Structure 1
Amino acid sequence: MKKVLGLGIIGIVLVSIIVMVFTFMNSSSVSKLSIAEVEGQKVLVDEKGEVVQLRGMSAHGLQWYSSILNENAFAAFKNDWNANVVRLPLYIGENGYAKNPEAMMEKMIKGIDLAIANDLYVIVDWHVHYPGDPNHEDYAGAMDFFKEISSLYPNHPNIIYEVANEPSERGDGVTNDREGWLKVKTYAEPIIKMLRDHGNENLVLVGSPSWSQRPDLAADDPIDDSNTAYTLHFYSGSHSDGHVMNNAKYALENGVAVFVSEFGTSESNGHNGPYIEESDEWLDFLDEHHVSWVNWSASNKYESSAVLMPDTNMDPGEDQVWSDEEITEAGHYIRDRLLGK
């Protein structure tokens, strides 16, 4: 076995034991997820075969906003916001994992453990952003990364693997067509095979061309795996003309599961809005079709898509509640939707 993040095989074994003990002591009550056809549509179901819709929050890039990784914040999202899933975006570039693998892996493991301790599903997001081709040499560590995480948390029911965030045309990326999808598919298949060969039955999410707006392309040529869903990303202020929603409808009508692993109430640049009416239309559609959704972002970044006000402490304190004044307009909207208001 190769050394991973400077650890030899003994170190990896010791870390695995520590993680497994931690997991046992903080056992999760969540159910293992799978994909099944219910009333003619592929949806998520639990171990009893009952339909499950995940709804929750995505952190921002962990290299910038890792202070969200604290017990009080995760408890707040679980108990005060009624979320059942969190997403951990591991940027590879932009001073992320490729530059600081040990530090970024520590952050990812911390986030996973916090999610498990708070009975939250957790999306392990290999954040393909720039360049837009997941096969690019910058992302050469993907296989080793997913091997390590899956060995530390073997077949753990809380974990969802997102193997390619947003394939796109940026920086010698993938084209917005069938050829572009084939590049994404060729990248994802060996990772999924590795996970399955090692006994990991976890739900896998795969992005699609044009910033994960083309699950319709995946529906026409899906990956041969029964527990893979295809992500759809949208921002209400930029994707309300029906085109992206029609891509989702096509995918659902043509036999694949769709999972919205990232959406914002702003425009796609993170600014302006929140676009409440457009967001309502989108979330009503997703709820009607039992499509899971995760909001961007659980951060205090100075942009209208963030749910916390700039400079707000991302640790809400021992009461595990952010005050109304600490939550943005977008944050109040998302919290209300999570609470079913």
Structure 2
Amino acid sequence: MMMRRKILVIISFISVIAILFFIGFSGNNSSSAPSKLSIEEVNGQMTLVNEKGDIVQLKGMSTHGLQWYSAIVNHNAFAAFANDWNANVIRLAMYIGEAGYAQRPEQMMERVTSGIDHAIANDLYVIVDWHVHHPGDPNHEIYEGAMDFFKEISSMYPNHPNIIYELANEPNEGGDGVTNDIEGWRAVKSYAEPIIEMLRESGNENLIIVGTPNWSQRPDLAAEDPIDDDNTAYTLHFYSGSHNDGSLMDNARIALDNGVAVFVTEWGTSEASGNNGPYIEESDEWLDFLDEHHISWVNWSASNKQEASAAFIPYTILDPGENQAWSEDDLTDSGIYVRSKMRGEN
């Protein structure tokens, strides 16, 4: 009788260990729900960390323009990114011009909030991207709804740890845009500061990302005159086939050396046009650089557009179904490459 009792105790102990093991190791690459992100100095560099002070490097996908490619915003797709691709962030690219939010605010708001909800359900950080593209100056009248938009989102998801605010995608010289110099940066800064002030005064401590001049290639300019906020990072965008001479890496180094944080909210394996490639060796060099400096990155794009930078071949159904995984036959060469990088594979 005593022996039987001992055996039952041992079996129960093994069962408990098995349950704990399953809980601890199932799910995506963040073993628990996202925690508050902040920027701290680590080894002399401003770096993204979690609530425990551990270094965080986010890796994930960006949608294409939600006015065109909203089909990716579904639960199964986001679950596939979290669990099969091992992503921990998704970016919602909400264009303002080009038949976007300025013309269809209710529709675009619904697509963004749906994306936020799917991201939260799958333990993904989610970048809410106010996609400044054409025209290139975030102070242009077409963007005048920015303050109300971010006020509404932040009141719907007050201080939610999953949410990251990207206030201006790619300030540029096109369409009455901003110049590629310190004055151009100060124009972007003058736009961003009131929104950041509103978010902070209403209690939202979320990470904020601000775009930089010349299609978000100049975080070094932001470092010359940074925004007075401890949890704001600055964007660097690159495309491996076009930006491979080292100059943009130098811009990132200058920014880091001058005490600001850098976040790559958009990069592609193609040329800047979205075509040709993928440029694998150049992409490897870039990703090694980002890993070395713990710089988070988001790949463009989770779409089935007919271009080399898209992750899915044209006409791929962007809801992968209940198995929550696309086959490799659904992926472009770029999609296969980026997925493998998130999964830590060669």
Q: Same fold (TM over 0.5)?
A: yes
Q: Does 1:200 align with 2:193?
A: no
Q: Does 1:164 align with 2:188?
A: no
User: In structure 1, which of residues 124, 131, 135 is the aligned counterpart of residue 135 of structure 2?
Assistant: 131
User: Which residue of structure 1 aligns with residue 11 of structure 2?
Assistant: none
What SS does structure 2 have at the residue aligned with 1:298?
A: coil
User: In structure 1, which of residues 72, 75, 85 is the aligned counterpart of residue 89 of structure 2?
Assistant: 85
User: Which residue of structure 2 aligns with residue 262 of structure 1?
Assistant: 266
1:310-337 per-position Cα deviation (integer Å, ceiling 9, x unaligned) = 0000001111111111010000000010
Alpha-carbon distance in 1 for matches of 2:203, 2:327: 43
Alpha-carbon distance in 1 for matches of 2:238, 2:270: 10
The letter of the residue matching 1:46 is N
Alpha-carbon distance in 1 for matches of 2:122, 2:289: 28
User: Which residue of structure 2 aligns with residue 334 of structure 1?
Assistant: 338
What SS does structure 2 have at the residue aligned with 1:110?
A: helix
User: Which residue of structure 1 aligns with residue 75 of structure 2?
Assistant: 71
User: In structure 2, which of residues 53, 61, 81 is the aligned counterpart of residue 49 of structure 1?
Assistant: 53
User: In structure 2, which of residues 206, 227, 232 is the aligned counterpart of residue 223 of structure 1?
Assistant: 227
Alpha-carbon distance in 1 for matches of 2:34, 2:165: 16
Output the TM-score relative to the length of structure 1.
Answer: 0.92
User: Which residue of structure 2 aligns with residue 294 of structure 1?
Assistant: 298
Alpha-carbon distance in 2 for matches of 1:29, 1:274: 33
Alignment of 1:1-341 (within 5 A): 29-341=33-345
Post-superposition, which runs of at least 4 consecutive aligned residues in structure 1 deviate over 4 A? none
What SS does structure 1 have at the residue aligned with 2:92?
A: strand
Could you tell me which runs of 5 or more consecutive residues in structure 1 were left unpaired when the two chains were aligned.
Answer: 1-27
The letter of the residue matching 2:52 is K
Alpha-carbon distance in 2 for matches of 1:93, 1:67: 20
User: Which residue of structure 1 aligns with residue 20 of structure 2?
Assistant: none
The offset of 1:29, in angstroms, is: 1.2
Alpha-carbon distance in 2 for matches of 1:311, 1:299: 10
The letter of the residue matching 2:314 is P
1:12-54 per-position Cα deviation (integer Å, ceiling 9, x unaligned) = xxxxxxxxxxxxxxxx811100000000000000000110000
1:179-228 per-position Cα deviation (integer Å, ceiling 9, x unaligned) = 00000000000000000000000000000000000000001110000000
The offset of 1:262, in angstroms, is: 0.3
Could you tell me which runs of 5 or more consecutive residues in structure 2 were left unpaired when the two chains were aligned.
Answer: 1-31
Alpha-carbon distance in 2 for matches of 1:289, 1:178: 25
The offset of 1:338, in angstroms, is: 0.2
Output the TM-score relative to the length of structure 2.
Answer: 0.90
The offset of 1:150, in angstroms, is: 0.2
Alpha-carbon distance in 2 for matches of 1:324, 1:157: 33
Alpha-carbon distance in 1 for matches of 2:319, 2:234: 32
The letter of the residue matching 1:149 is I
Alpha-carbon distance in 2 for matches of 1:87, 1:340: 21
Q: Give the aligned CA root-mean-square deviation in angstroms.
A: 0.6
Alpha-carbon distance in 2 for matches of 1:218, 1:136: 20
Alpha-carbon distance in 2 for matches of 1:324, 1:136: 42
The letter of the residue matching 1:77 is F
Alpha-carbon distance in 1 for matches of 2:94, 2:75: 19
Identity %: 74
The letter of the residue matching 1:160 is I
Alpha-carbon distance in 2 for matches of 1:142, 1:30: 26
Alpha-carbon distance in 2 for matches of 1:217, 1:259: 14
1:230-251 per-position Cα deviation (integer Å, ceiling 9, x unaligned) = 0100000000001111100110
